[in-house]
Amino acid sequence: MSETRHRYVASDRRVREDRRFVVGKGTFVADIDLPDTKHIALVTCPHAAARIKSIDKRAALAMPGVHYVLDGRELAEATLPLMTGLDTPNVPRRPLALDVARYSGEWVAAVVADTRAQAEDAAEAIDIDYEPLPFVLDAEQAFAGGPLVHEKHGSNVLLDKTFVWGEVDKDFAASPRKLSLRVKWGRSSTVPIETFGVVTSWDPWREILDVYASIQMPRYADQIGAALKIPSSSVRVHYDVDVGGSYGVKRGIKNTVLAGYLARRLGFPIRLIEDRLENMRGGDAHGPERLFDVEVAFDDNGIVRSMKMRALENLGAYAGRSPFQLGKPIGSIVGPYKIKSVQYRAIAVVTNKTTQDAVRGFGQGPTNLALERVMDEVANMLGLDPLEVRRRNLIRNEEFPYLIPSGTTYDSGDYHTVIDKVLADTNYEALKRERDRLRAEGKLAGIGIAACLEPSGGNATFEALLNPAITTSTFMDSCRITVDGMGAITATMHTTSSGQGHETLVGTVIGEVLQVDPDTVRVARPDSLNSLPSGTPVGSRMAIMLGGAAFHAAQKLKAKLTAIAAHDLGIAPERAVYDQGSVYDRDAPQNRRSWADLVQIAHRNIHRMPKDFEPGLAVSHIYEVPTGGTLPTPDGRVQMYPCFSFEFHLILLSIDPDLGVPEIVRYRLGHDCGTQINPKIVRGMTMGGIAHGIGAALFEEFAYNDEGQLIAQTFMDYLLPSSHEVPPVDIVDHETPSPHTVLGQKGSGESGYLGAPAALANAVNDALRPLGVSINALPLKVSKLGDLIAAARTKGK
């Protein structure tokens, strides 16, 4: 990392993207009007599972403005199934159901009309004859056999893999204490306010499919091309579309294949903007629904030696990358703790629910919940303070770099100091007294703690861990910088963004290296045909990866400028000193070449350039993830993400004993993500993550009834936290730089979300403890809490 004081990095600068958003001039996909565009509305299956016996399109096709009705048969004959992460050829995933629909809300047909309203009208006129089939909703039932979701697969299990890292049996046998706990993460998601949308247009003469989409998806163009059976170089994805929130879910492959096919088939631009119902029932809307059985072995001092974890994931009806969400947590399976050995069984089953997709943290939030609930119960069993138990188990600052049993080495951390800093302002004993005072007033009150890691950098070697056929060890991002003939700097990034401030990131890092005002660095987003490789904003990776690429590209540019100046000054290169865009002779500082001089030489005076130098000023850097490049060992160990941010949540919560309504009385967070390139962005991410965490813990659930119908399919039923539900949070920053990154930065895109649900669950359970009851299934809804409290009080009387 850089040892010099930063000029622009870590200073409280504005976020350049904000100017266009406050005036409503973002360019979201729904804002893109191509001439002669036709609109799609979708026909969805009303049953949890059904055979599609016939589709009668005649009435719909006769309606005004209607051009076409596409069914799953035609689409399946013309396209290939979507790419999946696991090798499960008998579980094909397609945009429209083929013969059998496997969840309520699955897309069965697409209507194309002049307007969206006409398409919706016609969708209602399509007559489909369904034969309802047996279905399964519960993951344990699906695992045990259940009705088969995909008959040809022969089972509902897509993944069942057990890893043993270290001497688990021995450590369990040697430990005097054991405890087991069942914890459930409810089916929730990040639910952006913008649904997924895509506009496609096919040019048959150039053979190019133009795609404008609200995506956050690695290898998007590749996957579209593969499914449509056209070269990926015939897919031109426009990365300058602003994405109205994603937090992982905006994958949109099936939407794009559908719209792309229709654009080619019909010869006019096609637009599919999901409405909220299409999004909630059949879009890429749902996140993990995971059941944990955790067993830990520990001693009388609360030192946890070993852990057995069984994680059962309810994928819904199909799978893309979602089973891998069981894999990423392996890279921090022991959290911030010194647990010596781990047995981990990862099971993923299909059920007749909406297909699950990637969500913020990629499975880490649920795993953190399980770990942190267990740590609290260890303390509870021993009669120790939960904070003290954590302090005893946490990895100490001097132990980094720290190798965990599953093969990842944590980069850096100072967990005890972060906790001490939080407690320096919030006296823990005083907080406990406040809790006890609330209890004395007749309220239920509890303190919730969570100490969690945020793996960052996006080295997705969990793919190879769960599917040995995958040998990907490369996870890159890129930046190109050009200085034009007038001396203006333009940098490029090669993906879409959904609010992370990547243009600000690139400008800040390049400004830092070149010692120029970041606001003078234009940041552009070329389309996919003009782009360098990008792994896209997943895995909390962009500060590390795009920041790293921009840093190295700027260093290359600086080196080239310095070499040109040294040559022109006739001095040895080591005497040339770069200074805010100009270069001078260390031994004779009056001898200087200005930025304008250097631009003039590079662009117009090749006779003054060093021999063999390319003319112009254009550099690029493709940056591989730090610590990347290795594949798993045969016993299932691998280095995953390079950097590990830490967050420590401390909550005081009260629950109205009559209504069951929880109220967050105090919320304090210690956060360490290394160097903060832009503190405003980091704070926003963290607060937003906490809001998501509050939603997942207390309110949000894609709930199903016994008939397999999604009953939370609007914002009236799927409850998003408003400004009333998100309390003020005091954030205490600490900075432990990562040794692996260019500026010491770590990731923060998932901060808050990865610990808030655990802290809230612990707070609720602390509040309920005097009643002798506990609850370990999220979301901890008011109705559930109210019933639980009422039952406990009735029993107690």
CB of 518 to other proteins, least distance (A): 15
Interaction between residue 739 and other proteins (CB under 8 A): no
Tokens of 787: 């019933």
Q: Which is nearer to other proteins, 254 or 692 (CB)?
A: 692
Interaction between residue 117 and other proteins (CB under 8 A): yes
- CA–CA dist 100, 352 (Å, integer): 11
Contact (CB, 8 A) for 173 and 101: no
- Stretch touching other proteins by CB under 8 A, among 2-10, 147-155, 399-407, 678-686: 678-686
Can you tell me which of 166, 361, 365, 499 binds other proteins, judged by CB under 8 A? Answer: 499
244's CB contacts (< 8 A; 6+ apart) are 26, 28, 192, 193, 194, 214, 498
CB of 359 to other proteins, least distance (A): 12
Q: Scan residues 169-198 and list those touching other proteins (CB under 8 A).
A: 190-194
Can you tell me which of 35, 154, 634, 728 binds other proteins, judged by CB under 8 A? Answer: 728
Cα angle: 789, vertex 790, 791; to 5 degrees: 90
Q: Which is nearer to other proteins, 214 or 456 (CB)?
A: 214
Interaction between residue 486 and other proteins (CB under 8 A): no
Q: Which is nearer to other proteins, 126 or 726 (CB)?
A: 726
Can you tell me which of 288, 689, 708, 779 binds other proteins, judged by CB under 8 A? Answer: 689
> Where do the H-state alpha helices sit in 628-755?
679-694
Interaction between residue 36 and other proteins (CB under 8 A): no
Can you tell me which of 593, 692, 740, 746 binds other proteins, judged by CB under 8 A? Answer: 692
Interaction between residue 65 and other proteins (CB under 8 A): no
Interaction between residue 41 and other proteins (CB under 8 A): no
Q: Which is nearer to other proteins, 112 or 576 (CB)?
A: 112
Tokens of 543: 């500060």
Can you tell me which of 726, 732, 758, 761 binds other proteins, judged by CB under 8 A? Answer: 726
Can you tell me which of 361, 662, 688, 755 binds other proteins, judged by CB under 8 A? Answer: 688
- CA–CA dist 758, 742 (Å, integer): 32
What 3-state DSSP class applies to 712?
Answer: coil
10's CB contacts (< 8 A; 6+ apart) are 675, 676, 677, 679
Nearest to 157 by CA among 182, 184, 139: 139
- Stretch touching other proteins by CB under 8 A, among 65-73, 272-280, 298-306, 335-343: 272-280
Can you tell me which of 2, 6, 7, 28 binds other proteins, judged by CB under 8 A? Answer: 28
Which residue in the block uniquely carries the two structure tokens 């304008």? Answer: 596
Q: Which is nearer to other proteins, 46 or 727 (CB)?
A: 727
CB of 117 to other proteins, least distance (A): 7
Can you tell me which of 684, 712, 774, 775 binds other proteins, judged by CB under 8 A? Answer: 684
Amino acid at 255: N
Interaction between residue 35 and other proteins (CB under 8 A): no
Q: Which is nearer to other proteins, 502 or 734 (CB)?
A: 502
213's CB contacts (< 8 A; 6+ apart) are 29, 196, 197, 198, 199, 220, 237, 241, 252, 255, 256, 496
- Stretch touching other proteins by CB under 8 A, among 60-68, 128-136, 721-729, 734-742: 721-729
CB atoms within 10 A of CB 174: 12
Cβ burial 386-398 (10 Å sphere, 16+ → b, else e): bbebbbbbbbeee
Burial of 12 (0-12, 13-18, 19+ CB in 10 A): exposed
Q: Which is nearer to other proteins, 121 or 210 (CB)?
A: 121
Cβ burial 18-55 (10 Å sphere, 16+ → b, else e): eeeeeeeebebbeebeeeebbbbbbbbbebbbbebeeb
22's CB contacts (< 8 A; 6+ apart) are none
- Stretch touching other proteins by CB under 8 A, among 160-168, 308-316, 368-376, 719-727: 719-727
Residues at the site binding other proteins, with contacts judged by CB under 8 A:
14-15, 17-26, 28, 30-31, 117, 190-194, 242-247, 273, 275-276, 498-501, 680-681, 683-692, 714-716, 720, 722-724, 726, 728-729, 752
